[in-house]
Amino acid sequence: MPPSTVALIHCENYEPDNVKSAIERGISLLGGMRHFFQSGESILLKPNLLSGRPVEKAVTTHPAVFKAAAELGLDFGLKITYGDSPAFGNPLTVAHRAGLAAVAEKLHLKFDDFENSILTSFPAGNLVKHFPIAKGVRSADGLISLPKLKTHGLTRMTGAVKNQFGCIPGLTKSEYHIKFPDADHFSQMLVDLTLCLKPRLYIMDAIIAMEGNGPGNGDPVQMSVLLISSDPVAMDTVACELFEVPADTVPTNKWGTIFGLGNSNFEQIKLVGDSIEAFYQPDFKVERGSLSTKHQRISKIFKNQVLAKPVIQESRCTKCGSCVKVCPTTPKAVDFLNGDKNRPPIHNYTTCIRCYCCQEVCPENAITLERPMLGRIFQRLIK
């Protein structure tokens, strides 16, 4: 089986038996569990646990997908653990809120250590040669990555390549936004991280994906499909094809191909399972302009005139302070004015690096990304 094979499997809903048989069918089309694992290995499931929002908001990997992957692993004789590091907050509390911990308790799965890390050397890294990896990840023999298909302010979409970012515990993740503030360098880091961790298999939950103001506050959209592959770049490329976005405008795809993580040439990807025709969503709400390195450099220079900026909708803001906590800059580029927590925080667009973490974590959908007029013109010109 060539490595760049992606199984597309129709699945209309999250009814557990449907999800399990769909994933089982997809894995079997890729060569079966035996192709990826040996019985007795300890394998960690890495879902997307961005935040503890209700399941129907489509922020996190659905519990039915998590359950099916866990059961298939257990049936094969794997020792299954799970974990993720959310944007902030206690990882296990978020797993409870997202509905995964209840499933895990029934299956006796341990939530592994995602609060402490082991500095892991990766001399082959193109940009990053050491990562602080969660102990829970390091203690497993391998990973199954369970991404959720969503839009993303910085990298346009979050899927298979970006899902490994949560293997870096807690607020250490913020440091990477400071070190690599633009989409290209941030994506190079993500590709190195995925090369370092080498998940054996990816199962993408796109039964209900997220469009619009993702990854934390977009709108759920029915896509009725699961994608399964061992090539994360090919998987994300096929996802782009579904909503008709050129794959190389997603920087994790571009750098994933250049650094040898996988294949973003759609013509070279073998599709198995159900016909892709059934899953096209051309109206999917996602940024569609160019994100090339040259344009990013120009954007950086004219940041305030060109790049989308996070804007707080005061009427929705509950002054919870989550955006302030997650902002990686020093001093904070979003903060309560003079420490007054009775009024919404305000942004400092001069020091803001446009990482969009504040928009990602706001629990009230009170932060939207607004592109200035010049930025909209610039985007139309470079399309």
Residues lying near ligand SF4 in the complex (CB under 6 A) are found at: 310, 312, 317-323, 326-327, 329, 333-334, 344-345, 347, 352-358, 362, 364, 366-367
- Cβ closest to ligand SF4, residue 271 vs residue 324: 324
Question: Which amino acid is residue 55, in one-letter code?
Answer: V
- Cβ closest to ligand SF4, residue 286 vs residue 367: 367
Q: What is the DSSP string of 206-241?
A: EEEEEESSTTTS-EEEEEEEEEEES-HHHHHHHHHH
- Cβ closest to ligand SF4, residue 90 vs residue 348: 348
CB of 16 to ligand SF4, least distance (A): 34
- Cβ closest to ligand SF4, residue 154 vs residue 235: 154
Residue 211 and residue 242 in contact, taking contact as beta carbons nearer than 8 Å: no
CB of 291 to ligand SF4, least distance (A): 16
Residue 16 and residue 68 in contact, taking contact as beta carbons nearer than 8 Å: yes
Return the structure tokens found at 186: 């941030």
CB of 296 to ligand SF4, least distance (A): 15
Residue with tokens 């409870």: 96
Cα radius of gyration rounded to whole Å, the chain: 20
CB of 6 to ligand SF4, least distance (A): 32
Burial call 46-81: b when 16+ CB within 10 Å, e when fewer: bbbbbbbbebebbbbbbbbbbbbbbbbbeebebbbb
- Cβ closest to ligand SF4, residue 189 vs residue 333: 333
CB of 334 to ligand SF4, least distance (A): 4
CB of 366 to ligand SF4, least distance (A): 4
Residue 229 and residue 239 in contact, taking contact as beta carbons nearer than 8 Å: no
